[in-house]
Amino acid sequence: MRWGLILGLGICLGGCASVQLDTPEPLQVDIHMKVDVEQKGGDGEKGKNETLSVAEERRMLSHQVQVLKNDHRVGESADGTLILKEIPKDETYAEYAKTVVTKENGTRAKLFQEKASLEGKSEAQYAKEFAERAREASYPGEWVQEESGKWRKK
C-alpha cells in the first residue's frame, strides 16, 4: 500500500510539465473605440445653421426619456405623446422632467408629420400607430394608456 502511494505520487509529479507563461515580446492589444459625446443643454448642440434630424433628436433624448419612464414619472399616451404622469416634488427635477417631455413631444410631432407624409396617412393615424408600437415596446412597470383612455402599468 505504501509503495503504491509512493509510485502514484511519483507518476503524478513526474507527469507535470513546466508551462512557460511569459512571452518573448510584450503582448499587443488592438482596440477600436467609438465615443459619442453628448452635450446637455446650452446652444452648442451643433452649429447655429445646422439642425438635427428627427432621428438624431430622439436618439439624444432617448436615455433621458427612459430614465423618466423607469422612475414611473412619464407614460406613453394613446395619442402617441409622452405624458408627465407624476410631477416630481423636487423643483429642479420637475423642471427637468417637463423639459424632456416637451422636447420629446416636439420631436414626435415632427416625426409624425414626416412619416405620415411619406406613408400617405394622416398625422393622427400615424400617431395612433406609433402609440400602439410604443405600448408594445414598453417595459414591464412602465405607464401606458390604452386606446380606451385607461392608464395602466404594463
**pLDDT, tens only, 76-109:** 999 999 999 999 999 999 999 999 999 999 999 9
Domains identified in the chain, total number: 1
**pLDDT, tens only, 65-83:** 999 999 999 999 999 999 9
Single pTM value for the model: 0.65
Residue 29: inside a domain: no
Burial code (b: 16+ CB inside 10 Å, e: under 16) for 84-105 equals: beeebeeeeeeebbeebbebbe
Residue 18: inside a domain: no
Residue 115: inside a domain: yes
**Other residues' Cβ atoms within 10 Å of the Cβ of residue 2:** 6
Residue 63: inside a domain: yes
Distance of alpha carbon 18 from its chain centroid, rounded? 49
* Angle made by CA atoms 74, 77, 80, in degrees to the nearest 5: 115
* Angle made by CA atoms 105, 35, 71, in degrees to the nearest 5: 40
C-alpha cell at 82: 409622452
**pLDDT, tens only, 15-61:** 666 667 777 787 777 777 777 666 655 554 444 446 778 889 999 99
Residue 37: inside a domain: no
